[in-house]
A = this chain, B = another copy of it.
Amino acid sequence: MDADITGPSIPRLLSIENTKVRGSELGIIPVKSPEGIEVISLNLFMEDEEQPVIWRGPLIAGAVKQFWTDVLWGNLDYLIIDLPPGTGDVALTVMQSIPINGMVMVSTPQDMVSMIVAKSINMVKTMNIPILGVVENMSYMICPQCGKKIDIFGDSNIDIFLDRQDIKLLGKLPMSKDLASVAENNENNMQNDIINTFNSIIDKIDSSLNL
């Protein structure tokens, strides 16, 4: 469920940006990605994906609620909800109207040391939703010229911050053309160590959920 109503990026990520959603008498039928993932996103309802959604908060919140109530999700293993960044209206709607087993936070080292992530963490705690952990995105980079590792944002005291908040680090993802091109070109040429990192993140989430 792509709950980022004004910036929906999931259809492109899963190569279904040219498919449109269908309705039925029983409800909205989600679009199935080539990998077999059922997807709903506001972009799947639009004729032209470059057209902006210029909506006020209540309308946006209404769309998110409809994605939850009116879509024929069927028998899912997991329902993964992609939220827009920050502690805005959509995050509030999702946390209030959908029963959530756990929240995975995704952040960059830069935002982690600022108070932006602390705000989000405090919001989730206020709403009594378990925080499964943090994924550090754009964590480092491998120089394509010399092969050395670059700490993009310098030495940040993220471990201390997470310790203080009692939150687990699920994994660190590099800044990588491979990762960017999965989204842009849908090429599946990721390096093994990135795939391993993803698998380890998934395992940790899975065991936290205890499903």
Q: Which residue of B lies closest to A123 (CB)?
A: B52
Contact: A145 with B144, CB < 8 Å? no
**Chain B residues, CB < 8 A from A92:** 54, 56
Contact: B123 with A152, CB < 8 Å? no
Q: Does A1 contact B (CB under 8 A)?
A: no
Contact: B9 with A87, CB < 8 Å? no
Q: How far is the CB of A45 from chain B (nearest CB, A)?
A: 14
| A12-B114, A52-B122, A110-B184 known; A60-B85 Cβ under 8 A | no
- How many residues of chain A get a CB closer than 8 Å to chain B's CBs? 53
Q: Does A27 contact B (CB under 8 A)?
A: no
Contact: B175 with A152, CB < 8 Å? yes
Contact: A146 with B144, CB < 8 Å? no
Residues of A within 8 A of B (CB): 6-7, 9, 12, 17, 43, 49-58, 60-61, 84-89, 92, 110, 113-116, 118-120, 122-123, 126, 141, 143-146, 148, 150, 152-154, 156, 175, 177, 180-181, 183-184
- Provide the bound-state CA to CA distance between A89 and B5, in Å: 11
Q: Which residue of B lies closest to A156 (CB)?
A: B184
- Provide the bound-state CA to CA distance between A193 and B47, in Å: 43
Contact of A89 among B60, B110, B119 (CB under 8 A): B60
A-B contact pairs, 25 of them (CB 8 A): A7-B86, A7-B87, A7-B116, A7-B119, A12-B114, A43-B115, A49-B115, A50-B119, A50-B122, A52-B123, A54-B87, A54-B126, A57-B57, A60-B88, A114-B183, A114-B184, A143-B145, A143-B148, A144-B150, A145-B146, A145-B150, A152-B177, A154-B180, A156-B184, A175-B175
- Provide the bound-state CA to CA distance between A52 and B152, in Å: 27
- Provide the bound-state CA to CA distance between A161 and B128, in Å: 44
| Residue from A17, A57, A120, A175 whose CB has the most chain B CB atoms within 10 Å | A57
